[in-house]
């Protein structure tokens, strides 16, 4: 049986990450671009994990959003178009929070937000549809 509350929690926390990234981008002075991209990666990761949960799949402990998206694409072909986008977000999971960070520019953060929005929107829509179907 699907735990709908757990699916909703995955998506709710995912949306909080997305909203945090969008808020941080509005800072008038030095924008924390690394943290914006990190929250975008987190949004994507939690979105696809929510979808996997909705489908009754085991949710792996992994930050590899590309791999997680591939698992989603095996269930729902609409995710195939997002595999590369998810893979691009994956390196923001840890490479921004430790020494020898990757360089991030504002355009990277803007693009990461757009990707996170797209991934979240697809996962949330499909989860909602699956919840409606199973009622």
Tens-digit pLDDT profile for residues 44-99: 999 999 999 999 998 988 889 999 999 999 999 999 999 999 999 998 887 655 56
Coil, strand or helix at 42: helix
Integer Cα distance of 131 and 135 in angstroms = 7
C-alpha distances (whole Å) from 53 to each of 4, 46, 69 are 9, 10, 13
Q: 27 or 24: which carries more pLDDT confidence?
A: 24
C-alpha distances (whole Å) from 28 to each of 5, 12, 20, 107 are 37, 27, 15, 16
C-alpha distances (whole Å) from 79 to each of 25, 27, 85 are 27, 32, 10
């Amino acid at each position: 049986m699907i735990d709908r509350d757990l699916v909703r929690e995955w998506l709710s926390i995912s949306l909080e990450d997305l909203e945090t990234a969008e808020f941080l981008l509005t800072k008038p002075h030095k924008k924390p671009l690394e943290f914006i991209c990190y929250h975008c990666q987190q949004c994507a990761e939690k979105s696809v994990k929510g979808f996997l949960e909705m489908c009754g799949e085991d949710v792996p402990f992994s930050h590899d959003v590309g791999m997680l998206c591939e698992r989603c694409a095996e269930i729902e072909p609409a995710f195939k178009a997002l595999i590369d986008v998810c893979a691009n977000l994956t390196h923001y999971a840890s490479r921004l929070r430790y020494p020898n960070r990757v360089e991030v520019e504002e355009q990277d953060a803007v693009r990461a937000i757009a990707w996170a929005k797209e991934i979240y929107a697809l996962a949330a829509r499909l989860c909602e549809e699956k919840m409606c179907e199973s009622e």
